[in-house]
A and B are shown apart, each in its own frame.
Chain A
């Protein structure tokens, strides 16, 4: 293709070649839009257009069949006053702790300790293994964990005795139980599944980030007599600003939009203790046929994600500019 074009090349002066290229570049910048159109059409039709419709539906009272009735902001009022709906949002906040803060903090600690180990041969295998939760369908993870956290499950079998001893030490004895069926422990149980899903991703990402830190920084601080703890806070942590930002962003979106795991492992129960916005939206729209109310909750969820993400991105980018 390119060769046939070469033969028709005519000799040109340097100036006219440059001028020709500049016109071509400008033509490129316009014609290039043709290359963008298919992606924009797909994105517009199946993401932006539905998003606009979610906003529109949220102002109506609609059962999905009969004519819709304009109700203004009253659906939004319900989202924040209806106890079940509001508690679903609160549960999301607790899940952020488990999906986001704990895996990031644990990932940092693990990466700091395992940095040398993960560079070796064992590390190559370990990296493949601990990244596995990113590949497995969350539905399957939910099934596996419902069984693990059940009364006869492996968590009780392996961890019950030490955990029980620990809890008794702080005066909180707990009977062996089906954790996801418990009023008190179901939500932390779902959170534990979230830790499992996210920890490997955060650990690998942070380990790779630590590998990029200039070793001379550590040498310099060792000459100053800094110990490993001061090194961690003075050098490692600030250098990982971007990676930490990524961990928090990815995991927070996962926490707020949690659906698969909850749908499979608890269905929001017992007594709505693990109800989350994602599941509530699904149930309201497709079981209760309260499409307007479900849409209002959906828009609140979208806004919540933005509110959580923007400060993190701002913090990360501020560091890059200075």
Chain B
């Protein structure tokens, strides 16, 4: 047996170990979720009588119906506006090459490294002055701003690579900039736009610090992740219920990811490397 065959075999074993390590928390949550409420399960153990109704109980106890709706509304308020204005800005920076574009890009790049904790305090007082604390708008508006650095940067990277002769040809045919944008460039940018929609949807869903601070009491107006924090505070002793609730909250985005995994992984890798 050649050494390269041995390496390939070893590589495959290592891959399986890595997969198990990644899935371990989910497996552990799943087996814990099936134990009777009020018991203390041990590690990875399959219960004698799996309690499937725990998932229904967790749904009711955590009041997941309204929170699911709230998360969907926050995503619908955040993602379309983010994508439209970032695509416009990316077009201006990558195709039209506006005056001062390099300086503007640099300004956006600062935001790429900025931790949310650096601005969360003034954000609270700003939204308080708009009377928006404890509403969904308090999450939607800051998120649009916070998504700008990555989104503009991502769309600019697309538009820089579209030949400018396309825009110029349409221009010499008498099309206005607005027509060129919507009629020609946006349809061409569809793959980049789809990736951006998926990535910002997942990031919105998982947002925790923002709803924790800006929607402090009205838990039903939070994102799923934000609500999970409150649920954990109340049921930290009830491991089966907490595990079931966590899995329910994870499920929608894992589903979105499995459907669009190719776009998501590509966007995460390219978005990172081009920086």
Q: What are the residues of chain A within 8 A of B19 when measuring CB–CB?
A: 125-126, 129-130
Q: Which of A147, A153, A249 has the most C-beta atoms of chain B within 10 angstroms of its own C-beta? A: A147
* A161 beta carbon closer than 8 Å to chain B: no
B7 to chain A, nearest CB (A): 7
- Alpha-carbon gap, A253 to B15, bound state (A): 27
| Chain A proximity mask over B114-139: 1 for CB below 8 Å, otherwise 0 | 11111111111110000000000000
* A15 beta carbon closer than 8 Å to chain B: no
CB <8 Å contact, B23 and A117? no
* A158 beta carbon closer than 8 Å to chain B: yes
Q: Closest B-chain residue to A261, C-beta based? A: B208
Within 8 A of B (CB), among A65-105: none
Task: Report which of B108, B126, B179 forms a contact with A5, defined as CB distance below 8 A.
Answer: B179
- Alpha-carbon gap, A201 to B209, bound state (A): 22
CB <8 Å contact, A45 and B145? yes
Task: Report which of A40, A50, A259, A281 forms a contact with B89, defined as CB distance below 8 A.
Answer: A40
* A148 beta carbon closer than 8 Å to chain B: yes
B120 to chain A, nearest CB (A): 7
* B257 beta carbon closer than 8 Å to chain A: yes
Stretch at the interface among A164-172, A180-188, A231-239, A295-303: A295-303
* A20 beta carbon closer than 8 Å to chain B: yes
Whether A51 touches B25, Cβ cut-off 8 Å, given contacts A113-B7, A113-B11, A136-B253, is: no
- Alpha-carbon gap, A135 to B224, bound state (A): 13
Task: Report which of A133, A154, A242, A305 forms a contact with B113, defined as CB distance below 8 A.
Answer: A305
CB <8 Å contact, A122 and B12? yes
| Chain A proximity mask over B214-244: 1 for CB below 8 Å, otherwise 0 | 0010000000110011001000000100110
A165 to chain B, nearest CB (A): 18
B261 to chain A, nearest CB (A): 5
CB <8 Å contact, B208 and A259? yes
- Alpha-carbon gap, A285 to B212, bound state (A): 13
Q: Closest A-chain residue to B206, C-beta based? A: A137
Whether A281 touches B117, Cβ cut-off 8 Å, given contacts A2-B175, A2-B179, A264-B232, is: yes
A251 to chain B, nearest CB (A): 11
CB <8 Å contact, B85 and A42? yes
* B14 beta carbon closer than 8 Å to chain A: yes
Within 8 A of A (CB), among B116-167: 116-126, 141-142, 144-146, 148-149, 152
Q: Closest A-chain residue to B266, C-beta based? A: A208
* A314 beta carbon closer than 8 Å to chain B: no
Task: Report which of A17, A50, A115, A117 forms a contact with B119, defined as CB distance below 8 A.
Answer: A50
CB <8 Å contact, A282 and B114? no
Whether A246 touches B114, Cβ cut-off 8 Å, given contacts A50-B119, A51-B119, A138-B206, is: no
Within 8 A of B (CB), among A269-291: 277-278, 281-282, 285-286, 291
- Alpha-carbon gap, A37 to B240, bound state (A): 50
CB <8 Å contact, B116 and A158? no
CB <8 Å contact, B97 and A249? no
| Chain B proximity mask over A1-37: 1 for CB below 8 Å, otherwise 0 | 1100110110000000100110011001111110110
Stretch at the interface among B40-48, B61-69, B188-196: B40-48
Task: Report which of B89, B141, B205 forms a contact with A39, defined as CB distance below 8 A.
Answer: B89
Q: Closest A-chain residue to B270, C-beta based? A: A208
Main secondary structure of the interface of B (DSSP, over half): helix
Q: Which of A125, A139, A208 has the most C-beta atoms of chain B within 10 angstroms of its own C-beta? A: A139
* A152 beta carbon closer than 8 Å to chain B: yes
- Alpha-carbon gap, A298 to B114, bound state (A): 10
CB <8 Å contact, A36 and B98? yes
Q: What are the residues of chain B within 8 A of A140 when measuring CB–CB?
A: 225, 228, 246, 249-250
- Alpha-carbon gap, A173 to B234, bound state (A): 36
Q: Which of A123, A291, A298 has the most C-beta atoms of chain B within 10 angstroms of its own C-beta? A: A298
Q: What are the residues of chain B within 8 A of A210 when measuring CB–CB?
A: none
CB <8 Å contact, B121 and A115? no
* B86 beta carbon closer than 8 Å to chain A: yes
- Alpha-carbon gap, A40 to B93, bound state (A): 12
30 contacts between A and B (CB under 8 A): A2-B179, A5-B174, A9-B174, A35-B98, A36-B98, A43-B107, A47-B119, A48-B111, A113-B14, A116-B7, A117-B8, A117-B14, A126-B19, A129-B23, A137-B224, A143-B242, A143-B243, A144-B26, A144-B29, A144-B243, A199-B22, A205-B273, A208-B269, A257-B115, A285-B124, A291-B121, A298-B117, A301-B115, A301-B117, A302-B114
Binding site for B on A (CB under 8 A): 1-2, 5-6, 8-9, 17, 20-21, 24-25, 28-33, 35-36, 38-40, 42-51, 53-54, 57, 64, 110, 113-118, 120, 122-123, 125-141, 143-145, 147-148, 152-154, 156-158, 196, 199-201, 203-205, 208, 242-243, 246, 249-250, 253, 256-257, 259-260, 263-264, 277-278, 281-282, 285-286, 291, 294-295, 298-299, 301-302, 305-306, 309
**Considering the complex of A and B, which 7 residue pairs feature the smallest CB-CB distances, nearest first?**
A46-B145, A157-B43, A32-B96, A257-B115, A53-B122, A117-B11, A144-B25
Binding site for A on B (CB under 8 A): 7-8, 10-12, 14-16, 18-19, 21-26, 28-29, 32, 40-44, 85-86, 88-89, 91-93, 96-99, 104, 107-108, 111, 113-126, 141-142, 144-146, 148-149, 152, 168, 170-175, 177, 179, 181-184, 202, 205-206, 208-209, 212-213, 216, 224-225, 228-229, 232, 239, 242-243, 246, 249-250, 253-254, 257-258, 261, 264-265, 268-269, 272-273, 275
